[in-house]
Amino acid sequence: MPELKAIDCDVHPGVPDIKALSPYLDEHWRDAVEERGIPSLESISYPPNAPLTARPDWRGQNGVAAASVADLAPHVFDRWGADRAILNCLYGVQLVFNEDMAVAFARAVNNWIVKEWLDRDPRLAASIVVPPQNVEAAVDEIERCGSDRRFVQILLLAMGEVPLGRRSLWPIYAASERLDLPIGIHAGSAYRHPVTSLGWPSYYVEDYAAQAQAFQSQVASLISEGVFAKFPALKVVLIESGVTWLPGFLWRFAKFWRGLRTEVPWVDRSPAEIVRDHFRLTIQPLDGPTSPEAVERAIDHLRSDDMLLYASDFPHWQFDGEQPLPAGIPAGLTRKILLENPIATYNRLKGS
């Protein structure tokens, strides 16, 4: 097998229509879609026609982007030179309030991914969509899909019902460690809470901006609750999180931890060290400054060469032109970001 050059750690297969899932739903839910007129589970985290949801030149004739392997492969593999790509399907299973329905749709989405994507292009890998509405069912789905080595990660949304460190969710982390499937936390909300701690904002632009705040809260929660003391091999990938917020957040969080560590005695070393050991971030969007020199400074603030993973975020409109890597990434880091860091994160991609 030829040596890999790059792994794209965040691309989005779009469910073209709820009917595309029909073959993968059981009879009850297949009928429910028809009889109850369920139009779609698409999320307002990515309004279908909003500019950010798909770059205009990547949309097909019907306005939909990345609805099939043929829409995705020419960009991700042929133009940008990745050898492998990880599919993160953002169909809004996590938003559903009926947990039986969420379980049915998570299974359907995962089976659709296998048949319509993984079976059609061996360069593709995927994250397991799980129903966090029911932790037991989520673990069942992880175990069901995890036996297929093409599933390389467990996908959760940045905004859910409770912060992700909460102990009710720990069976998911036990499964993650046991099956060598990192936890991928992707931008998006289950809309159980307003997207800011100050209520519902007026504009979509604020909703998307607020994603970066959710990631800060999740890092704080996962560390404060002691998840990494309990699961020392756990890896967490922050996907489409933005990157430049992380250093300033850690300087604040680590300082407060020093002052308040008696409250969380299981956190026995600085959160900054825990983050460098356990967390990875995808590179799009970087949310960097405009000058490449300042980008280099901002990346230096991470104090780690191991944390960034290459991602195009296709078809979300994060960059113009044909270069997914932001300008200003230090030359010595490029190979780490493109290949070495993703390989070190996703053991299931090694030698596959």
- Rounded CA separation 136/117 (Å): 27
260 binds another protein (CB under 8 A): yes
Q: Which of 92, 131, 285, 342 binds another protein (CB under 8 A)?
A: 285
Mark residues 240-259: x for contact with another protein by CB under 8 A, - for none: --x-xx-xxx-xxxxxxx-x
CB of 260 to another protein, least distance (A): 5
Q: Which of 272, 325, 338, 349 binds another protein (CB under 8 A)?
A: 272
- Smallest gap from Cβ 192 to another protein, in A, equals 7
Considering the rule CB under 8 A, would residue 163 count as an interface residue with another protein? yes
Distance CA 241, CA 162 (A): 18
The smaller minimum CB distance to another protein, of residues 178 and 301, is found at 301
Q: How far is the CB of 271 from another protein (least distance, A)?
A: 9
Pattern 184-213, binding to another protein, x per CB under 8 A? -----x--xxxxxxxxxxxxxxx-xxx-xx
d(CA 34, CA 88): 27
Report the residue number, 179 or 209, with the smaller CB distance to another protein: 209
- The CA R_g of the chain, rounded to the nearest whole Å, is 19
By CB under 8 A, name the one of 217, 230, 292, 347 that touches another protein.
217
Other beta carbons within 10 angstroms of residue 5's beta carbon come to 12
Tell me the sheet residues that pair with 279.
236
User: Which residue lies nearer to another protein by CB, 236 or 272?
Assistant: 272
In 3D, which of 245, 255, 256 has the Cα closest to residue 279? 245
How buried is 270 (Cβ within 10 angstroms: 0-12 exposed, 13-18 middle, 19+ buried)? middle
What residues numbered 106-145 form the site for another protein, per CB under 8 A? none
Q: How far apart are CA 219 and CA 221, in angstroms?
A: 5
Whole-Å CA distances, 299 to 217, 238, 281: 21, 16, 12
Please pick, from the candidates 153, 218, 312, 345, the single residue that binds another protein as defined by CB under 8 A. Answer: 218
Of residues 147 and 290, the one with the C-beta less far from another protein: 290
Comparison of 77 and 208: residue with beta carbon closer to another protein: 208
Q: How far is the CB of 29 from another protein (least distance, A)?
A: 27
Q: By CB under 8 A, what part of segment 287-326 binds another protein?
A: 287-290, 294, 297-298, 300-301, 303, 317
For residues 209 and 191, give the distance between their C-alpha atoms in angstroms, rounded to a whole number: 15
Q: Can you tell me the distance from the alpha carbon of 220 to that of 31, in angstroms, rounded to the nearest whole number?
A: 42
CB closer to another protein out of 15 and 138: 138
Query: Interface mask (CB under 8 A) for another protein, residues 38-77, using x and -?
Result: ------------xxx-------------------------
